[in-house]
A and B are shown apart, each in its own frame.
Chain A
Amino acid sequence: MNAQRILRLFCRGTLLVIFALGLFAGSFTHYSYAHQFRELPNTAPSAAHLLGTDGLGRDLFTRIVYGTRVSLLLAPAAALLATILAVVLGGIAGLSGGWLEKIILAFTDLFMSLPLLFVLIALRALLPLDVSPSLSVVATFVVLGLLGWPASLRVVWAAAKHLRDSDHILLAQALGYRRSQILLRQVIPCLRPIFLAQFWISIPLFILTEATLSMLGLGVMEPLPSWGNLLRGSEDFSAMAANPWRLVPLVVLVLTVICFQFVFQSSEELA
């Protein structure tokens, strides 16, 4: 048990460091993430470029810290959006029952049956071309948030339905509490750990989805870095063997997802 606590502390600490790197990216590097040192493409780590440069001669460390900002700030935002949608719709379905529950669940099943990646690609193609890279990032994550709620909804709905038939809710109703009072004092506190768990589990999911989109060239627009488009440099395994420092974005992504999993486990246990 003690070892688990230490591990969780370590994960929280790691996430804190990674978040801090992203949030205060400008303090850790004096290069621009977009500047191309064209005489130095694909160079090895050095004092001038801590993690070397990418194929266009851009400082890889700078791109990782700025990419961290993009991925780690927007993925939680997308996760929050998806969780809110899941909580509201799942809560209504679970607590109300009847035809409303059936409609919401049918709608959820329909969404779950859609091939998410193709829907994302189609929506991405429909976006206007004349948007700035920053806006394209926000748009990408908003789309991810708007499409990423159905799985969470199922969990919230099951918990809310279970709660609807529980003794303490029936007791509260029998004592004459108003609906809003039951919702605020009984339902939400009981479901809060589930909301948190869904939120935490969604973050790495959205980071990975953005990475997949970027691997397809459809995620965050150049020259803005994200973990996804940084991972595109790792497509070529034999080049990786010759330049192992190019694996750093992958290591950071894996570390973050693992840390989120451990932090999530503690939330799940609470739930």
Chain B
Amino acid sequence: MRFSRRSTLLGLAFFTFVFSAPSGRAQSGAELHFCLHGEPKTFDPILVDDEASENVRYLTGGVLIRVNRQTQALEPALAESWKVSPDGRKITFHLRKGLYFSDGTPFSSEDVAYTMKLLMDPQINSATGDAFRTAKGTSIDVQTPSTDVAVISFPTLVAGLERLFDQVAILSSKSPKKEMSVLGPYYVSEYVAGSHVLLRRNPNYWKHDSEGHPLPYIETLRLDIQRNRDIELMRFRRGELQLINRLDAEQFDRLQKDSPGVAKNAGAGFDGEELWFNQTAASALPDYKKKWFQATAFRQAVSLSINRADLARVVFDGYATPAYGPVSPSNHFWFNAGLPAPKHDPQAALQILARAGFRFENGSLKDSDGHPVAFTVITNSGNTAREKMATMIQQDLSDIGITLKVVTLDFPSLIERITHSFEYDACLLGLVNTDLDPNGQMTVWLSSGEDHQWNPSQKTPATPWEAEIDKLMQEQASTPDEKLRKAKFDRVQQIVAEQQPFIYLINKNALSAVSPDLVGASPVALNPQAFWNIETLRLKPATDMGASK
């Protein structure tokens, strides 16, 4: 028997087709390994309040509407379509028919009603539910006119309502497995505390690829619990892990030099670093210091004297972007592109200070009463990048004659000072921003908010510009018109840029690592950066642990 050249090629093609898990087919036995950076505190999607649990929820939870992490647009998920009422108080979902939870329980509008009631239950105190709570209370009304229609009514308008459903994983009202019965691409198969979480492919997952093949492709995900980032990187280099969701700049830089193909930089991320002054009226600061910190000119001058480009280049090895304001440029819709680029101009800073009555004498700055300008910035100990930033700001401020002392405190002591005792001059901290919509920052911007860090929980706004921000934030939250909301929040960003209550420093880049064995990964700035499209990721045959061969 002889084989022709053509039949040999056809045979090879067949062999490749059968044995190499072609794209579009589920990869039986394929196991993707990566790490969670902490122990998941819960698998109940309603109670999620930490990053590890949030990542598990993303991988296992089925949601009505999904925010596409790449385009940042809303996409139908369990709901085929939806409609928000003109007054923004009611949303009607038309659900997909014939869907099942991972344990085979059918999905219906009753499950949506059950989930929403749990979410808004004041006794459960869900962090996810907080986003839906309005000033008029927590009571909601959920109507289920049919098994595939759910109508949810809120006591008052909830701006940006649809986006909030990206975080709401629907629970089964009937399944005996309760929260372990899921509608997402994976379900929790095994959890060994301190070791790993094993997720298996949900056989009832509703989504299919363009060729009609069921998603996801990868059979199992093994999420090792690993807090030590150096060990995580070492395991990635050994090939034991196929992705790292978040890398710090130094690790990324080393990886970039060793294996440039695997280091992925998705540009400016959503996490920022900022400095603010204590403007609390009740603080025990001397009056002259309060006067400095409450003066717009002083804050503007400090902002102008900080070299943000150097912070990004030296501290973050260039993997950070000087920050414009509270919204990262990666937030396509809400970023105000009209804001001025952050400047470093010590001479302009000195001119502003001179106009405000400060004197620059013999390399030292003094206020109009002759007090030398010196203050202390606190930051949390153990965060090397933040300590480096504070030390660089120290040198920048010395150029305009300001003496800055840097004090690192353990985190509980720092929180005590910035939230209760107010015994501090200035603070340098980071802001983790996972919400695209400004409504997630209401407690930061409203003068009555607890997170209005420079002067929290005010009974009435202390300054006219804070009163204007209050008004704008309330107005943007009370209209469903997205264009109008954007215009209002643009103005808020402009006021913040002028008044500098927070001196925004940098936005860290979204850095991750993806092994060449993982096909289809395209990291983005929004969390989960590296595995947002988990359903369509595939492993090359060599990493399928042999099971697909």
> A residues near B, CB below 8 A?
34-36, 38, 41, 55-57, 121, 125, 129-133, 136, 216-218, 221-223, 232, 235-239, 242
Residues of B contacting A217 in the complex (Cβ-Cβ under 8 angstroms)? 380-383, 387, 408
Q: What 0/1 pattern do residues 309 to 327 of B give for CB contact below 8 A with A?
A: 0100111000000000000
> B residues near A, CB below 8 A?
230, 233-234, 250, 254, 307, 310, 313-315, 376, 378, 380-384, 387-388, 390-392, 394-395, 405-410, 413, 423-425
Residues of A contacting B233 in the complex (Cβ-Cβ under 8 angstroms)? 238
Q: Taking A34-B395, A56-B392 as contacts, is the C-beta distance between A237 and B230 under 8 angstroms? A: yes
* CB atoms of A130 and B405 under 8 A apart: yes
A-B contact pairs, 26 of them (CB 8 A): A35-B395, A36-B314, A36-B392, A38-B314, A56-B315, A56-B391, A56-B392, A121-B410, A125-B409, A125-B413, A129-B407, A129-B424, A130-B376, A130-B425, A131-B405, A132-B405, A217-B380, A217-B387, A217-B408, A218-B410, A221-B406, A232-B384, A235-B384, A237-B230, A238-B234, A239-B254
Cα distance A130–B390 in the bound complex, in angstroms: 16
Q: Taking A125-B410, A218-B381, A238-B254 as contacts, is the C-beta distance between A223 and B391 under 8 angstroms? A: yes
* CB atoms of B250 and A129 under 8 A apart: no
* CB atoms of B382 and A216 under 8 A apart: yes
A129-B405, A239-B254 given; name 19 further pairs at CB < 8 Å.
A35-B395, A36-B395, A38-B307, A38-B310, A55-B388, A56-B314, A56-B391, A129-B378, A129-B424, A129-B425, A131-B405, A132-B405, A133-B405, A217-B383, A218-B410, A221-B408, A222-B394, A232-B384, A239-B250
Chain A residue nearest to B425 in the complex (CB): A129
Question: What's the nearest-Cβ distance from chain A to residue B506, in Å?
Answer: 15
* CB atoms of A222 and B381 under 8 A apart: no
Residues of B contacting A121 in the complex (Cβ-Cβ under 8 angstroms)? 410
Residues of B contacting A216 in the complex (Cβ-Cβ under 8 angstroms)? 381-382, 410
Cα distance A34–B384 in the bound complex, in angstroms: 17
Chain B residue nearest to A35 in the complex (CB): B395
Question: What's the nearest-Cβ distance from chain A to residue B256, in Å?
Answer: 13
* CB atoms of A238 and B230 under 8 A apart: yes
Cα distance A239–B230 in the bound complex, in angstroms: 11
Cα distance A36–B423 in the bound complex, in angstroms: 30
Cα distance A131–B254 in the bound complex, in angstroms: 38
Chain A residue nearest to B377 in the complex (CB): A129
Residues of A contacting B407 in the complex (Cβ-Cβ under 8 angstroms)? 129, 136, 221
* CB atoms of A41 and B254 under 8 A apart: no
Residues of A contacting B307 in the complex (Cβ-Cβ under 8 angstroms)? 38
Residues of B contacting A38 in the complex (Cβ-Cβ under 8 angstroms)? 307, 310, 313-314, 392
Residues of B contacting A129 in the complex (Cβ-Cβ under 8 angstroms)? 376, 378, 405, 407, 423-425
Residues of A contacting B378 in the complex (Cβ-Cβ under 8 angstroms)? 129
Residues of B contacting A239 in the complex (Cβ-Cβ under 8 angstroms)? 250, 254
Cα distance A34–B404 in the bound complex, in angstroms: 13
Question: What's the nearest-Cβ distance from chain B to residue A145, in Å?
Answer: 21
Chain A residue nearest to B313 in the complex (CB): A38
Cα distance A125–B410 in the bound complex, in angstroms: 7
Cα distance A218–B413 in the bound complex, in angstroms: 12
Question: What's the nearest-Cβ distance from chain B to residue A233, in Å?
Answer: 9
* B390 CB contact (under 8 Å) in A55, A222, A242: A222
* CB atoms of B314 and A57 under 8 A apart: yes
Cα distance A92–B409 in the bound complex, in angstroms: 38
Residues of B contacting A34 in the complex (Cβ-Cβ under 8 angstroms)? 395
Cα distance A232–B250 in the bound complex, in angstroms: 14
Chain A to chain B: the 4 pairs with minimum beta-carbon distance, closest first: A217-B381, A125-B413, A217-B408, A129-B376
Residues of B contacting A132 in the complex (Cβ-Cβ under 8 angstroms)? 405
Cα distance A242–B269 in the bound complex, in angstroms: 28
Residues of B contacting A133 in the complex (Cβ-Cβ under 8 angstroms)? 405
Interface centre among A56, A133, A239 (most CB of B within 10 A): A56
Question: What's the nearest-Cβ distance from chain B to residue A32, in Å?
Answer: 10
Cα distance A93–B133 in the bound complex, in angstroms: 66
Residues of A contacting B313 in the complex (Cβ-Cβ under 8 angstroms)? 38
Cα distance A237–B409 in the bound complex, in angstroms: 25
Chain A residue nearest to B229 in the complex (CB): A236
Residues of A contacting B315 in the complex (Cβ-Cβ under 8 angstroms)? 55-56
Question: What's the nearest-Cβ distance from chain B to residue A133, in Å?
Answer: 7
Chain B residue nearest to A217 in the complex (CB): B381
Chain B residue nearest to A242 in the complex (CB): B254
Cα distance A67–B310 in the bound complex, in angstroms: 25
Interface centre among A38, A130, A131, A218 (most CB of B within 10 A): A130
Residues of B contacting A56 in the complex (Cβ-Cβ under 8 angstroms)? 314-315, 388, 391-392
Residues of A contacting B394 in the complex (Cβ-Cβ under 8 angstroms)? 222-223
Cα distance A239–B258 in the bound complex, in angstroms: 12
Residues of A contacting B234 in the complex (Cβ-Cβ under 8 angstroms)? 238
Cα distance A133–B381 in the bound complex, in angstroms: 16
Residues of A contacting B376 in the complex (Cβ-Cβ under 8 angstroms)? 129-130
Chain B residue nearest to A232 in the complex (CB): B384
* B391 CB contact (under 8 Å) in A41, A222, A236, A238: A222
Q: Taking A130-B376, A218-B410, A222-B390 as contacts, is the C-beta distance between A236 and B250 under 8 angstroms? A: yes
Residues of B contacting A242 in the complex (Cβ-Cβ under 8 angstroms)? 254
Chain B residue nearest to A125 in the complex (CB): B413
Question: What's the nearest-Cβ distance from chain B to residue A99, in Å?
Answer: 39
Cα distance A129–B230 in the bound complex, in angstroms: 33
Cα distance A57–B107 in the bound complex, in angstroms: 60
* B387 CB contact (under 8 Å) in A57, A222, A235: A222
Residues of A contacting B423 in the complex (Cβ-Cβ under 8 angstroms)? 129
Cα distance A221–B388 in the bound complex, in angstroms: 12
* A221 CB contact (under 8 Å) in B314, B405, B424: B405
* A218 CB contact (under 8 Å) in B254, B406, B408: B408
Question: What's the nearest-Cβ distance from chain B to residue A231, in Å?
Answer: 12
Cα distance A100–B450 in the bound complex, in angstroms: 53
Cα distance A159–B255 in the bound complex, in angstroms: 58
Question: What's the nearest-Cβ distance from chain A to residue B126, in Å?
Answer: 33
Cα distance A242–B255 in the bound complex, in angstroms: 12
Question: What's the nearest-Cβ distance from chain B to residue A239, in Å?
Answer: 7
Question: What's the nearest-Cβ distance from chain A to residue B403, in Å?
Answer: 9
* CB atoms of A222 and B406 under 8 A apart: yes
Chain A residue nearest to B390 in the complex (CB): A222
Chain B residue nearest to A132 in the complex (CB): B405
Cα distance A222–B254 in the bound complex, in angstroms: 26
Cα distance A237–B231 in the bound complex, in angstroms: 11
Question: What's the nearest-Cβ distance from chain A to residue B390, in Å?
Answer: 7
Residues of A contacting B250 in the complex (Cβ-Cβ under 8 angstroms)? 236, 239
Cα distance A235–B391 in the bound complex, in angstroms: 19
Residues of B contacting A232 in the complex (Cβ-Cβ under 8 angstroms)? 384
Question: What's the nearest-Cβ distance from chain B to residue A108, in Å?
Answer: 27
Cα distance A136–B423 in the bound complex, in angstroms: 18
Cα distance A163–B440 in the bound complex, in angstroms: 72
Chain B residue nearest to A58 in the complex (CB): B391
Cα distance A136–B392 in the bound complex, in angstroms: 20
Question: What's the nearest-Cβ distance from chain A to residue B320, in Å?
Answer: 14
